[in-house]
Amino acid sequence: MTEFWLISAPGEKTCQQTWDKLMVATTRTNNLSDNNKFNIPDLKVGTLDVLVGLSDELAKLDTFVESVVKKVAQYMADVLEDSRDKVQENLLANGVDLVTYITRFQWDMAKYPIKQSLKNISEIISKQAAQIDNDLKARASAYNNLKGNLQNLERKNAGSLLTRSLADIVKKEDFVLDSEYLITMLVVVPKTSYVDWQKEYETLAEMVVPRSTKLLFEDHDSGLFSVTLFRKAIDDFKHKARENKFTVRDFQYNEEEMKADKEEMTRLSTDKKKQFGPLVRWLKVNFSEAFIAWIHIKALRVFVESVLRYGLPVNFQAMLLQPNKKNMKKLREVLSELYKHLDSSAAIIDASMDIPGLNLSQQEYYPYVYYKIDCNLLDFKV
């Protein structure tokens, strides 16, 4: 279960009492959740107007940074391709797994100095997330182009004999080259028609060289045969071959072109390998940065919302609950019972109602401050 509930409640006589009450209600008697204190430092409060405005801005920023975190995680999975089982071990925050980071959260004073105003801190995070988002787009675009070009070439070199590149199959000696009159054609013949081909190929046009056919390559369904004929009989030969369900491949033996194709394939493959390591490292570092920024936004939101709801002086306890999956409904009931005195109207507020100053359309409203953190960041199960 990778869902967390980040909540806060006002300090009783002390914040420790608030914590103890929660522990008694949710863990000591009924094992509804695993709980940790969530440490938020003494941030600068600012004016009420600023806090109200910031509440809305942080909600939008939360959504944006979460989307960046998910994009980086998802792209990590795309880049790792066949090693998707390794994705989770690369998605770390500050070198530890996400659950450990959240449950032992410590504010990063160096990145987000608490002497700055809340607005400044949120702007630092916003710029950082936008930078990661833009860099990801640029890097993903470059790597995807490379990967796409390589896949197109690989597709050309795979597939059936009717469509695949023949450059890696044929050799110079399979062809009559530099002849004014003669040309070697390549024909795809279904395996079930080999006998018919041998019987009929010399009669498909008037100027086919007798006994000139040779089987060059076979795949699961067909064989690739060469046949030599006079150039002036090409059209006639193609027409008759089609009538007999033999497919003539348009192929000119050109050593330069074939060499260029092979070199391009090698170059793209080498480039992809070269870019892979640095890209994965970039994704790891920037996933960590984005995730850390995201959890700091959650901390900011809890702080701002707690001050707006519970008033000054700042006196609340932030708590991180990891609900026991089977008991989520029960946990919600216990929390409502525990904190209903904080806001008697909360029980009857419908989340679809639009109340100025309360951002209810985005999430449920409870008498206590509540934000969900969902660490399941990928669209697939690893």
Question: One digit per residue, pLDDT tens: the chain, 382 residues?
Answer: 589 999 999 998 899 999 999 999 998 778 899 999 999 999 999 899 999 999 999 999 999 999 999 999 999 999 998 777 789 889 999 999 999 999 999 999 999 999 999 999 999 999 999 999 999 999 999 999 999 999 888 888 888 899 888 888 899 999 999 899 999 999 999 999 999 999 999 999 999 999 999 999 999 999 999 999 999 999 999 999 999 999 999 998 888 888 888 899 899 999 999 999 999 999 999 999 999 999 999 999 999 999 999 999 999 999 999 999 898 999 999 999 999 999 866 554 444 444 444 444 445 789 999 999 999 888 654 4
Residues 135 and 277 in one domain: yes
Residues 206 and 292 in one domain: no
In a domain, 26, yes or no: yes
Give me the torsion for CA of 343, 344, 348, 349, rounded to 10°: -20
Q: How far apart are CA 66 and CA 58, in angstroms?
A: 12
pLDDT recorded at residue 382:
41
Nearest alpha carbon to residue 338 among 4, 1, 30, 2: 30
pLDDT recorded at residue 363:
56
Residues 224 and 321 in one domain: no
CATH label of the domain that carries residue 32: 1.20.1460.10
The count of other CB atoms within 10 Å of the CB of residue 382 is 12
Start-to-end CA distance of the chain, whole Å, equals: 14
Amino acid residing at 204: L
Look at strands 182-190 and 247-249 and give their pairing.
antiparallel
In a domain, 75, yes or no: yes
pLDDT recorded at residue 13:
87
In a domain, 53, yes or no: yes
Residues 142 and 14 in one domain: yes
- Count how many Cα atoms sit within 13 Å of the Cα of residue 167 in the half-sphere of its side chain: 17
Amino acid residing at 328: M
Amino acid residing at 212: S
- Give the pTM: 0.81
Q: How far apart are CA 56 and CA 366, in angstroms?
A: 17
In a domain, 304, yes or no: yes
Residues 293 and 335 in one domain: yes
In a domain, 155, yes or no: no
For residue 336, give the 3-state DSSP assignment: helix
pLDDT recorded at residue 28:
74
User: How many structural domains does the chain have?
Assistant: 2
Domain holding 320, by residue range, is 3-150+270-351+360-374
In a domain, 157, yes or no: no
117 Cβ neighbours under 8 A, 6+ residues apart: 44, 46, 50
- Tokens at 222, concatenated: 């067909």
In a domain, 178, yes or no: yes
pLDDT recorded at residue 380:
53
pLDDT recorded at residue 348:
47
